[in-house]
Amino acid sequence: MNSNLKERISAVKKRIDQACAKVGRDPSLVRLVAVSKKKPAEMIRAAYELGLRDFGENYAQDLQAKAEALNDLRDIRWHFIGKLQRNKARSVAQIATLIHSVHSQDLVEKLDHICAETGPLSILVQLNISEEDSKSGIAPDALPSLMEKISVMPNLTCVGLMTIPPPVDDSEQVRPIFRQMRIIRDKLAAKHPQLTQLSMGMTDDLEVAIQEGATLVRVGTAIFGPRE
């Protein structure tokens, strides 16, 4: 299993390097978040031993269980990428380096309240670019006022934006969505210079995302294999 994992990780790193080369970006500015959802803690440990440090989980309970099982790995960084329920916000805020999926004003207020006690927290706001009802996220129109609110919260910092595009057959179809993310970020960054991160791109579309400016790619299947 380990040699397989090693090969998969180097293949993903190669894809990242090639996508960066194509548009003249520095690969050290694209962080690989290995999405370990539904995979056992021991597989995460193996990936850590092969050099990965950033791992993404999308269920609060799984995040907590895996963080406990791996608490000897001092410099591991956990990213929360799933739909966050209010009643799980505290436990996630205490574990995660970055919450990618902040999808409502209500959740922003809850997190602000929590980190007044638990300390500073970095978040990304999840945007719903494709305006699909089924996808969660903030509408682009609502973003400027939400950013204003967050900017006066002493313990909460929004460092960027995240999106999950709808499933498509050809990754070129999501390019306009990723490009839109970049445009929205650039526009807001004039007023909010801490908005440096764009979390976009997964196994099937990481090249396109990187070409459009992704700084965090969330890759599951290409690293850990298919999920049941």
Nearest to 91 by CA among 122, 123, 59: 59
Which is closer to ligand PLP, CB of 93 or CB of 162?
162
- For helices 105-118 and 143-151, the axis angle rounded to 10 degrees is 20
Q: Which of 6, 13, 37, 53 binds ligand PLP (CB under 6 A)?
A: 37
In the complex, the smallest distance separating the C-beta of residue 37 from ligand PLP, rounded to whole angstroms, is: 6
E-assigned strands of the chain?
Answer: 31-35, 54-57, 77-80, 98-102, 121-126, 156-162, 197-199, 216-219
Which is closer to ligand PLP, CB of 165 or CB of 213?
165
In the complex, the smallest distance separating the C-beta of residue 117 from ligand PLP, rounded to whole angstroms, is: 27
Q: Which of 5, 35, 89, 123 binds ligand PLP (CB under 6 A)?
A: 35
CB 222 within 8 A of CB 8: yes
Binders of ligand PLP in range 189-208 (CB under 6 A): 202-204
- Alpha carbon distances (Å) from 70 to 5, 48, 81, 126, 219: 18, 10, 19, 28, 20
CB 115 within 8 A of CB 156: yes
Number of residues that bind ligand PLP (CB under 6 A): 12
In the complex, the smallest distance separating the C-beta of residue 152 from ligand PLP, rounded to whole angstroms, is: 28
Q: Is residue 218 within the footprint of ligand PLP (CB under 6 A)?
A: yes
Q: Is residue 179 within the footprint of ligand PLP (CB under 6 A)?
A: no
Which is closer to ligand PLP, CB of 97 or CB of 155?
97
Q: Is residue 58 within the footprint of ligand PLP (CB under 6 A)?
A: yes
CB 217 within 8 A of CB 201: yes
Q: Which of 115, 164, 188, 210 binds ligand PLP (CB under 6 A)?
A: 164
CB 206 within 8 A of CB 214: yes
In the complex, the smallest distance separating the C-beta of residue 219 from ligand PLP, rounded to whole angstroms, is: 5
In the complex, the smallest distance separating the C-beta of residue 3 from ligand PLP, rounded to whole angstroms, is: 21
**Separation of alpha carbons 88 and 195, rounded Å:** 25
Q: Is residue 219 within the footprint of ligand PLP (CB under 6 A)?
A: yes
CB 16 within 8 A of CB 210: yes
Between strands 216-219 and 121-126, the pairing is unpaired
Q: Note the residues at the interface with ligand PLP (CB under 6 A).
A: 35, 37, 58, 81, 164, 202-204, 218-221
